[in-house]
Amino acid sequence: MNAPETDGGAAVQAANEASADVSPRPTLPLPDELQTIQPGGGVVMRLELAWGRLRRWYLRRLRPGYVRHMAEKRKGSCPDCPHDIVDPRDLKYVRNRCGYYWEPEDDPFAYRDRLPFARAGLAELVVLSIIFFGTALGLGVWLALAPPPSPWRFAAGLSALAAAVCGVLVVWFFRDPPRTIPAGPGLIVSPADGKVVSIERIDDEYVGRPALTIGIFLSIFNVHLNRSPADARVVGLKYKPGKCLNALRPESARENESLSILLEDLSPHRRPMIVRQITGAIARRIVCWVRPGQILKRGERLGMIKLGSRTELILPDTPDLRLEVAVGARVRAGASVLARYADDAAGQTTQADQDTQPAALSQPDH
């Protein structure tokens, strides 16, 4: 899918001159549908929000000194917060709307970011682990105490094993392993773990030109955190309610619930790109905690989809785009290079050559 080769120096010079006139896209307001980072709601989310209300009531009445201390350390502003923000735990579901924050040294819960599990899924991890491992333990105790002739021993043993396996899968699903982010100009990394199931050319309204869509299917065995494909600014977010079809079906990209993160890379070209989170038959909870105007680093976490899903990356299909993967490839979020824009690398090489040899413009490799 590469474009015909052109004169490298002339192409880079022309691209740099053109990009100097590219203005940043206006930041879009946050849609009303995105009152929280998890627009689809959910039982665990409701439980955690109820616990938050109870916790804030307890802290204000029985630990006023702690509340004053956290208020003194709190920074930023939030004129329309949906609820009181007493400490960093209260930011979890409103990070996309709230401007409050604490410095890491003032955050007593910063250790949660260092856990090997997705912080946005800790509540589900705890609740589901209690359900599955608790069931397995209870059945195991019953098996140990039940008399041998009991006709239910085999069924109980099988159920205990199934519950334990489900508990292990839940722990495995919410893992958050560290990733080494590749460095280099023009690199576009995968926004998700999984298998590349489609690569198509489309016309996209936001991109405003022919675009390339890379579809990635995430099974329940993949890490489900999404990451930024490039150094970029969040222009806006678009939420679309929909169905929960199997994420392997092509029509799931059009008909399922989805959230599109509209980005603009920080290169001089200000390329528009989209990361689209799409629910699946099992995964029905999209989570995205970025907000319009936010600056993301390449490979930075920006959200997750809980329990199996599909993620799409939409890129401008320009002549300098070099695709680095094919359908069937296994990719890792933030670590696998999906594509690269040759003009960015060539532009950096040209600038370096100009700094050292003002009279000569080198020919970059394509």
Question: Which residues are identified as catalytic?
Answer: 309
Tell whether the torsion through CA atoms of 220, 35, 95 and 288 is positive or negative. positive
Cα dihedral across residues 212, 218, 41, 249: positive or negative = positive
Instruction: Look up residue 236 and give its two tokens.
Output: 């806006």
Q: What angle do CA 100, 106, 112 make, to 5 degrees?
A: 85
Nearest partner of 343 among 1, 4, 13, judged by Cα: 13
**Three-state SS at 242:** coil
**Radius of gyration of the CA atoms of the chain, in A:** 24
- Report which of 339, 316, 320, 311 is spatially closest to residue 211, judged by C-alpha positions: 316
Q: Which residue has the tokens 């490799």?
A: 365
Q: Cα 290 from chain centroid?
A: 9
**Residue 334: strand, helix, or coil:** coil
What DSSP state is assigned to residue 120?
G
Tell me the Ramachandran region of residue 300: left when phi exceeds 0, alpha when psi lies from -120 to 50, beta otherwise.
beta
- Terminal Cα distance for the chain, rounded: 13
Sheet holding 258-265, edge to edge: 295-296, 232-240, 258-265, 272-278, 309-316, 209-218, 194-204, 330-331
SS3 299: coil
Q: Which two tokens stand for residue 24?
A: 């940043």
Residue in the structure block whose two tokens are 């208020």: 71
Using H for helix, E for strand and C for coil, what is the string for 11-38?
Answer: HHHHHHHHHCCCCCCCCCCCCCCCCCCC
Cα 125 to Cα 47, 128, 130, 146, 316, distances in angstroms: 13, 5, 8, 31, 38
Spatial distance between the Cα atoms of 150 and 107, rounded to a whole number of angstroms: 54
